[in-house]
Chain A
Amino acid sequence: MCRTVDLHQAVLAKNDTNAVELRRTLDDRGTTAVNLMSSPGSGKTALLEALLTRAVAGGTPAAAVTADLATENDATRLARSGAPVQQILTDGLCHLEAGMLRGKLEGWLPGGTRLLFVENVGNLVCPASYDLGETLRIALASVTEGEDKPVKYPAAFGLAHLVVITKTDLADAVEFRRDDFLSGVQQVNPGVPVIETSARTGEGVDALLAHVLRAADGRETHTPVLARQHEKHLHHHDTPSAEHSHAPAGTPR
C-alpha cells in the first residue's frame, strides 16, 4: 500500500511569499516598484533612461535596477540619467525572482526613493510568472515586432496593469497596424490602458511618468481578468498575493 500526501501547494508559493514581503517592505519605505517586461530589444532601457531623466528633473526620487544575462551596459546607460542604478546579472537565468531583487535592494536602495523601476530580463515567457512585489507591471512591445505579440504572449500581456507601445517614431516606416495590436491586447486583457511612446522623440514619456506617479499615489490600477480567477483557488491561503482575490468581478475601465 502506498501513502498519498495531498499537498495542494502553488508551485511558485516561495516566490509569491517573497514578493508579498517585498511589497510590504517597499510600502513601508514609501517606495513603489514598477516591473517592466518585453522581448529583447523592445526599448526598455531607452525608455527607462528617458523616464528617469524626467523624474530626476521633476524632483521625483527614482531609482532603477536592470537585469541582464550578461554585461553591465544597461546600467551604464541608465546611470546617465543621474538616478541611482544597480545591475543584476542573472548568470543565465532568463527572468528575475523576488528574492533576487530583494537581495539587490538590501543595503543599497536609497532612503526616500519614491519610484523603483525594475527592468526585467528581455523575455516575454517566464518573467510573467514571477511577482516581484511590484505595484505596476508594464508589458512593452515595439512597433517593429509585429502586431500579434499580445496574443502570442498572452501571459505577459494578459497580466499587465499597463501596456506600452515603444518606438512609435518607426510606426509608419514599418506600417504598424495599430488597430490589430490593440484588438489583441483587448482580447487577452480587456480594459488595460495602453500608452504609446518613443524614446527617440519623447512622445508619451510624460504621460507614462504621470501614470506611474498616479499608481505611486495609491490610485487604483487596472485589474487584469487573468489575474483574478474565481471559484477555484490558485494559491494556498498562507501566502496571499496580488493574484489571489475573492472580490466579485469588476468591470475594468
Chain B
Amino acid sequence: MHELSIALAVVDQVDTALRERGAERVPVRSLTLRVGELSGVVPEALDFSFGVAAEGTALADARLLIETVEGRARCEGCGRDTATGMPPDLWCGACEQAMSLTGGRELEIARVVLEDLEIRQGDDVPEASHVPHR
C-alpha cells in the first residue's frame, strides 16, 4: 500500500534527523507534514499507516498533524490565479495555453516537536500524549 511506504519513509527520515542531532531517544510529541492536494498521497490513508509505521520508534506516541496544501495554478497569459481543482485543470481555455503550477505538489516533513525530557525524567510515557490512529 502506497501510504505505508510513505509513512515508513517519514519515520525513517525523522529517525535519521533526530540521530544526527543526538536526540534519537527523545520521544516525539508531534510531527507536522505538508501534503499537497496533487502529491498523489491521501491524508486519511497516511494517518492510518503512520500508526503502523511508528510502532516501536521514538514516534510511537507522536500526534500526526497534516497540513494540506491546495493545488493552485497561474496563467502567464491572462494572469488568472486559481485553484486547480481535483483532478487538476492545468489548461487556460481563454488563452489556449498551459498554466504554471504554484502549489499542491508538496510532500514534506515540516517539523517535529520533541517532548521535554527534564519534566519527563523518571515518568512513564504519559497516557495523555497518545493519540490513537484509526
Contact = CB atoms under 8 A, between A and B. Distances in A.
Given A2-B116, A7-B112, A234-B106, A187 B38 contact: no
Interface in A110-139: 125-126, 128-129
B110 A2 contact: no
Contacts, number: 141
B14 A7 contact: yes
A187 B87 contact: yes
A5 interface: yes
Interface string B2-44: 1001100110111001100101001001000100001111000
A199 B38 CA distance: 32
Given A126-B2, A155-B40, A8 B110 contact: yes
A131 to B, nearest CB: 13
Contacts of B59: none
A129 B76 CA distance: 27
A226 B38 contact: yes
Nearest to A127: B2
Interface stretch (A49-57, A169-177, A188-196): A188-196
Interface in A14-64: 14-15
Contacts of B13: 7, 9, 11, 13-14
Nearest to A154: B87
A228 to B, nearest CB: 7
A252 interface: yes
Interface residues of B, number: 48
A6 B111 contact: yes
A234 B109 CA distance: 11
B112 A4 contact: yes
A contact face: mostly helix, strand, loop, or mixed: mixed
B contact face: mostly helix, strand, loop, or mixed: mixed
Interface in A152-170: 152, 154-155, 158
B29 A225 contact: no
A125 to B, nearest CB: 5
A251 B97 CA distance: 7
A249 interface: yes
Contact of B90 (A6, A95, A226): A226
B91 A190 contact: yes
B99 A225 contact: yes
Given A95-B5, A226-B90, A11 B105 contact: no
Given A15-B9, A229-B104, 7 more contacts: A3-B114, A3-B116, A11-B6, A11-B10, A11-B108, A126-B2, A155-B40
21 contacts: A2-B29, A5-B114, A7-B13, A7-B17, A7-B110, A7-B112, A8-B109, A9-B109, A11-B33, A14-B9, A94-B2, A128-B40, A129-B6, A129-B40, A129-B107, A152-B87, A155-B40, A187-B88, A189-B90, A190-B91, A229-B104
Interface of A: 1-15, 93-95, 125-126, 128-129, 151-152, 154-155, 158, 186-191, 225-226, 228-232, 234, 243, 249, 251-252
